Amino acid sequence: MGAVALHAVLTDTFTTTVTVEREVPFPVEVAPIIPAVAEVRVEEWQAKIPPEYVNLTNPFAGDAEAAKAGEMEFQDHDCYECHGENLDGQGKFSPGLNPKPVNLTDPTLMGLPFMTDTYLFWRISEGGNHPPFMSAMPAWGNTLEDEEIWQLVTYIRSQTSEIAGDEDQAAIAIVEQAGCFACHRIDAIGRGGKIGPMWDDTSVLAGERIPGMSAEDYIRESILNPRAFTPEGFEDKADVMPDNFGEMLSDEEVDILVNYILSLSGAEE
């Protein structure tokens, strides 16, 4: 496909209008304007595999020949322009994208419980032009056959590194999975809403709210039992946050998320 110029006004979740101008190697549909805060449903921002995909399984799992075919698909369709030649997210167009492509070789990210082959098949098929991703990733299901997408999935899976991964991008994937961006904004990466407290300085404030309670314990309890504490100024939104994250997230995922929130203002150090 020939490169096209992307020049569009995108509405960043609920708040900021930004202009993006970047040459990209595929047609990009501009993401729709995010609905008003009052209309947002958290479940619509949770990265759940749709019913039509949930029972699909990879017919080529572990197949070396399928992985080679997937690598050819990756090259033939210019996926490396964004995802990088080595699947590390460092492609030529990556600097101009928000969110940026992730490092698909990262074992921490790729080892998350929900990061299954079926999840990858769905993400490639439907692209990123919808909540919670809101990315420039095109919907390859409109271009590729199912077999080709499964081959891509098999190739991606075959490239997982044994080197320790970066928990930050794993944390972002968990945030997408849980739907946190529907309400919480992270200015450091320019994503999220403003229904709930911003996370950039949460770790500092969390350490000051309950005498004798550490910021880590406060944040963990706020995730697992969101009715335990209500930050000042958010009393009218106390019932918005779902109370089932303890069931939705594994202990490891909660740990990664807590550590990430702590790191945003350096409280982890």
For each of the domains in the chain, give its residue range(s) and CATH number, in order of start: 4-158 (1.10.760.10), 167-263 (1.10.760.10)
Residue of higher predicted confidence among 42 and 92: 92
Q: What is the pLDDT of residue 265?
A: 80
What percent of the chain has a predicted confidence (pLDDT) above 90? Answer: 63
Predicted confidence (pLDDT) at residue 21 exceeds the cutoff of 80 = no
Cα–Cα distance between 152 and 120 in angstroms, integer? 9
- The CA-based dihedral angle spanning residues 120, 124, 83, 268, taken in that order and rounded to the nearest 10 degrees: -40
**How far is it, in rounded angstroms, from Cα 269 to Cα 256?**
15
Q: Which residue has the higher pLDDT, 32 or 185?
A: 185
pLDDT at position 11, please? Answer: 34
Average pLDDT, the chain: 84
Q: What is the pTM of this model?
A: 0.77
How far is it, in rounded angstroms, from Cα 12 to Cα 125? 24
**C-alpha distances in angstroms, 251 versus 1, 41, 47, 200?**
43, 25, 19, 23
pLDDT of residue 166: 79
Q: Over 50: is that where the pLDDT of 147 sits?
A: yes
Backbone angles phi, psi at 143, to 5 degrees: -120, -40
| Residue 88, C-beta contacts closer than 8 angstroms, at least 6 positions apart | 103, 104, 105
Sign of the dihedral defined by the CA atoms of residues 44, 140, 124, 96, in that order:
negative
